[in-house]
Amino acid sequence: NGNPQNPYCPGIDGVLDAYHKTLHAVQLYGPTNFAPCVNHVSKFAAAARDGNDYFILLIVTDGIITDMPQTTEAIVNAASLPMSIIIIGVGDADFEAMEILDGDEVRLTSRGRMAERDMVQFVPMRDFLGRNGDDSAAIQARLAREVLEEIPDQFLSYMQKHNVKPKPPMLQRRDTVTSMTSLPLSEQ
C-alpha cells in the first residue's frame, strides 16, 4: 500500500489497488533482491504467532534473482513464521532459481539448516498465456488456482507445527438471531 510501517491492504481489492498505484509510482529495474521484502514481512509475522494472523507475501518479478543466498536464508528463517510467499514470474527470464525457492522437490536449506516447512509457491506466468485458445477468464481462473494451490496446506502446516488450535466461531447476538427467525421462511 506504500506504507512500510503499516503495509496492510483491505482484502483483495486493497491488494489490487495497491498494485495499480505502485505500477505508476516505481521504476522497474535490477538488481532483483527478494531478501529485504521477505525480511520485512517476517518482522510482522514474527509479532503475530498466536494464530490470529497469517501473512502472504506476493512477489511479481520479471528478473532473475540476484541475492539468492540472502533470500534462501530469509526464507529458511521465515519458514517458522505464520506466512507464505507466492512468486509470480512474468516474462521469459530464466526462473530456475525460483523453482529452487519453491522447495517442492527438495526442502530449502541455508547454512546447513533446513526450512521448517515449504512456504513458497512459484508460478511462471508464461505457462498460462496463449494456451489452447482459452479466453481470459479461463486463463485467470487457472492462474489463480495454481497461485493459491499450496496456501491451505502451508497454512495448516504452520498451525499444526505450532499447535495453534482453531478458535470457536463467533456467536451471533441473540437479538439478531431472534429477528431473523421471526421472518417468514420465504424472506429469510
Question: What integer pLDDT is reported at residue 177 of this predicted model?
Answer: 44
Question: What integer pLDDT is reported at residue 26 of this predicted model?
Answer: 78
Question: What integer pLDDT is reported at residue 92 of this predicted model?
Answer: 85
Question: What integer pLDDT is reported at residue 171 of this predicted model?
Answer: 58
Question: Could you tell me which of 136, 130, 121, 57 has the C-alpha nearest to residue 89?
Answer: 121
Q: What is the pLDDT of residues 29-74, one digit of tens each?
A: 778 899 999 999 999 999 998 888 899 999 988 878 899 999 999 9
Q: 65: which 3 cell numbers?
A: 534473482
Question: What integer pLDDT is reported at residue 184 of this predicted model?
Answer: 40
β-strand pairing of 109-110 with 113-114: antiparallel
Put the strands of the sheet holding 120-124 in their side by side order: 55-61, 83-89, 120-124
Question: What integer pLDDT is reported at residue 12 of this predicted model?
Answer: 76
Pair 79, 116: CB distance under 8 Å: yes
Walking along the chain (188 residues) 10 residues at a time, the average pLDDT comes out as 80 82 80 93 92 90 89 96 93 86 86 93 84 73 89 94 85 46 40
Question: What integer pLDDT is reported at residue 172 of this predicted model?
Answer: 52
Q: 161: which 3 cell numbers?
A: 507445527
